[in-house]
């Protein structure tokens, strides 16, 4: 009987429904998520990047080409306004120059690309207002003129950015150069900026780092949760793409693929940070992504048994790590299992008395809906979408 069950399970695994893409044809570094079940788009964006026009190591065209290679929908050019370590070699009184060069690169690529599946990258103008704590470093994106933000008073710079319609967020609030203990704290100046609606978001993850304290600040103060690369060198130097780890970025859950829709979703807090293969955000946002990219299909009971094959299908670019926390036990798998990106995983559930009522409850261990708290979901049979 055991050999029969194992052989049957192997056949079921081979016959399991395929994901939206063939694993061999997927670029592991690309952060492309399918459309959500409610019709919204899950758009990967990176709102914190640097080039040689502040303290970065590459020309703006490299930033654009990297973003396209990583499957981003949008990237923001956010050079330091005040910190210009390359000014002796690259003097530029126009703080919009890096953005202009990035736009030129994207326009050239679009002109040269005649393929049917032409990829388009949204390039966003932004700036990093670079001050001591408080307020520390603050990004303003969707600005119309970065030069106007170069003023003495930090609060006035944020007022000008907001007057331009910008989305404004606090960068790496736990950065040890300004917060030696690595603990993000909301200071009176930040509280006032939030009350005055001048500060809209906060980086919970920046590059290789993540902060539980910044996450709690976001949840407690209704700030938008962000993940960014804050890239200075080559993106391939900072992220282990070969092992399936994408750049730190943000999924924006937007109603449309337009600048206005992206900005509206950012200001409404409809985001999920992507950090080292984990999804970090408010419960409703993380759940919307998981429910749209991970489904369960239930097969028929194996002959003369009450054990039932179940297949999980993952259409996202990240692996999902799950822990079975429900009453149902598995015949051929431990309580922890992984459903790889753009793939499926079949296991056998034992002692199923009513297939129609079968459900599995699991923690998605590479999600966070609060500091150290994983999303728990109940999965039921979901037929393959048309």
Residue where a domain terminates, one of 269, 301, 335: 269
Taking the model in full, what pTM does it have?
0.92
Q: Give tens-digit pLDDT for 98-145.
A: 999 999 999 999 999 877 677 899 999 999 999 999 999 999 999 999
Asked if residue 27 belongs to a domain, the reply is no
What pLDDT does 382 receive?
83
What pLDDT does 384 receive?
74
- d(C-alpha 231, C-alpha 127), whole Å: 14
Sheet containing 343-349: which strands, arranged edge to edge?
A: 294-298, 308-314, 343-349
- For the chain, what percent of residues have pLDDT higher than 70? 93
Asked if residue 334 belongs to a domain, the reply is yes
Confidence of residue 324 (pLDDT cuts 50, 70, 90): very high
Q: Give tens-digit pLDDT for 68-93.
A: 999 999 999 999 999 999 999 999 89
Confidence of residue 386 (pLDDT cuts 50, 70, 90): low
pLDDT surpassing 50 at residue 15: no
Asked if residue 34 belongs to a domain, the reply is no
Clarify whether residues 77 and 114 are in a common domain.
Answer: yes
- For the chain, what percent of residues have pLDDT higher than 90? 87
Domain that holds residue 327: 2-21+293-380
Average pLDDT over residues 139-159: 98
Q: Indicate which CATH number applies to the domain containing 100.
A: 3.20.20.140
What pLDDT does 113 receive?
84
pLDDT higher for 320 or 13?
A: 320
- When computed from its CA atoms, the radius of gyration of the chain, rounded to whole angstroms, is 23
pLDDT surpassing 90 at residue 261: yes
Clarify whether residues 265 and 313 are in a common domain.
Answer: no
Asked if residue 371 belongs to a domain, the reply is yes
Q: Give tens-digit pLDDT for 328-378.
A: 999 999 999 999 999 999 999 999 999 999 999 999 999 999 999 999 999
Clarify whether residues 62 and 181 are in a common domain.
Answer: yes
Asked if residue 242 belongs to a domain, the reply is yes
Average pLDDT over residues 166-181: 97
Q: Give tens-digit pLDDT for 275-310.
A: 999 999 999 999 999 999 999 999 999 999 999 999
Clarify whether residues 139 and 198 are in a common domain.
Answer: yes
pLDDT surpassing 60 at residue 9: no
What pLDDT does 222 receive?
98
Clarify whether residues 126 and 241 are in a common domain.
Answer: yes
Confidence of residue 204 (pLDDT cuts 50, 70, 90): very high
Average pLDDT over all residues of the chain: 92
- d(C-alpha 358, C-alpha 119), whole Å: 41
Clarify whether residues 177 and 324 are in a common domain.
Answer: no
What pLDDT does 3 receive?
43
Structure tokens at 166: 């910008």
Clarify whether residues 218 and 74 are in a common domain.
Answer: yes
Q: How far apart are the first and last CA of the chain?
A: 36
Asked if residue 241 belongs to a domain, the reply is yes
pLDDT surpassing 60 at residue 20: no
- Going from the C-alpha of 250 to that of each of 51, 100, 275, the distances in angstroms are 20, 23, 9
Residue where a domain terminates, one of 234, 269, 304: 269
Confidence of residue 245 (pLDDT cuts 50, 70, 90): confident
Clarify whether residues 63 and 173 are in a common domain.
Answer: yes
DSSP string, 19-31: -SS-GGG--TT--
Asked if residue 54 belongs to a domain, the reply is yes
Any idea which residue has 């969707």 for tokens?
Answer: 142
* Number of domains within the chain: 2
Confidence of residue 244 (pLDDT cuts 50, 70, 90): confident
CB distance 360 to 375 below 8 Å: no
pLDDT surpassing 80 at residue 239: yes
Clarify whether residues 145 and 244 are in a common domain.
Answer: yes
- d(C-alpha 148, C-alpha 198), whole Å: 16
What pLDDT does 24 receive?
47
Clarify whether residues 86 and 201 are in a common domain.
Answer: yes
Residue where a domain terminates, one of 269, 301, 329: 269
Mark 337-369 as b/e (b = at least 16 C-beta within 10 Å).
bebebbbbbbbbbeebeeeeebebebbbebbbb
- d(C-alpha 303, C-alpha 260), whole Å: 55
* The 3-state secondary structure of 116-178, one letter per residue: CCCCCCEEEEEEEEECCCCCCEEEEECCCCHHHHCCCCHHHHHHHHHHCCCEEEECCCCCCCC
Clarify whether residues 241 and 374 are in a common domain.
Answer: no
- Going from the C-alpha of 254 to that of each of 38, 42, 172, the distances in angstroms are 11, 7, 24
Q: Indicate which CATH number applies to the domain containing 342.
A: 2.60.40.10
Sequence-separated (6 or more) residues with CB below 8 Å from residue 166: 126, 140, 141, 142, 143
Asked if residue 224 belongs to a domain, the reply is yes
Alpha helix ranges (H) inside the chain = 2-15, 60-69, 97-112, 154-163, 188-195, 212-221, 235-238, 259-268, 283-293
Clarify whether residues 369 and 220 are in a common domain.
Answer: no
**What distance lies between CA 103 and its chain's CA centroid?**
23
């Amino acid at each position: 009987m055991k050999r029969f069950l194992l052989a049957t399970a192997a056949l079921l695994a081979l016959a399991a429904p395929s994901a939206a893409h063939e694993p061999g044809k997927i670029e592991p570094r690309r952060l492309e998520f399918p459309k959500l079940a409610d019709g919204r788009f899950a758009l990967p964006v990176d709102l914190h990047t640097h080039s040689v026009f502040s303290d970065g190591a590459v020309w703006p065209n490299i930033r654009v080409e990297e973003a396209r290679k990583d499957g981003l929908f949008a990237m923001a050019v956010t050079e330091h306004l005040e910190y210009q370590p390359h000014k002796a070699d690259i003097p530029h009184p126009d703080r919009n120059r890096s953005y202009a060069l990035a736009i030129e690169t994207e326009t050239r690529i679009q002109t040269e690309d005649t393929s049917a599946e032409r990829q388009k990258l949204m390039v966003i103008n932004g700036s990093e207002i670079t001050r001591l704590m408080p307020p520390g470093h603050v990004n303003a994106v969707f600005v119309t003129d970065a030069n106007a933000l170069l003023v003495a008073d930090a609060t006035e710079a944020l007022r000008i950015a907001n007057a331009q319609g910008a989305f404004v967020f606090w960068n790496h609030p736990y950065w040890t150069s300004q917060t030696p203990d690595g603990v993000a704290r909301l200071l009176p100046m930040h509280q006032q900026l939030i009350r005055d609606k001048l500060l809209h978001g906060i980086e919970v993850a920046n590059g290789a780092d993540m902060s539980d304290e910044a996450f709690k600040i976001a949840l407690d103060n209704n700030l938008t949760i962000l993940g960014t690369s804050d890239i200075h060198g080559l993106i391939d130097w900072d992220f282990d793409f070969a092992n399936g780890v994408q750049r730190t970025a943000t999924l924006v859950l937007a109603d449309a693929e337009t600048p206005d829709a992206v900005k509206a979703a950012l200001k409404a807090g409809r985001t999920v940070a992507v950090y080292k293969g984990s999804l970090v955000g408010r419960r409703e946002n993380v759940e919307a992504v998981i429910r749209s990219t991970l489904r369960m299909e239930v097969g028929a009971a194996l002959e003369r048994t009450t054990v039932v094959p179940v297949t999980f299908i993952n259409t996202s670019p990240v692996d999902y790590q799950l822990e079975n926390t429900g009453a149902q036990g598995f015949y051929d798998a431990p309580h922890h299992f992984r459903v790889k990106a753009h793939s499926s995983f079949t296991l056998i559930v034992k002692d199923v008395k009513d297939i129609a009522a079968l459900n599995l409850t699991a923690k998605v261990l590479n999600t966070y809906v609060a500091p150290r708290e994983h999303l728990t979901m109940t999965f039921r049979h979901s037929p393959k979408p048309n």
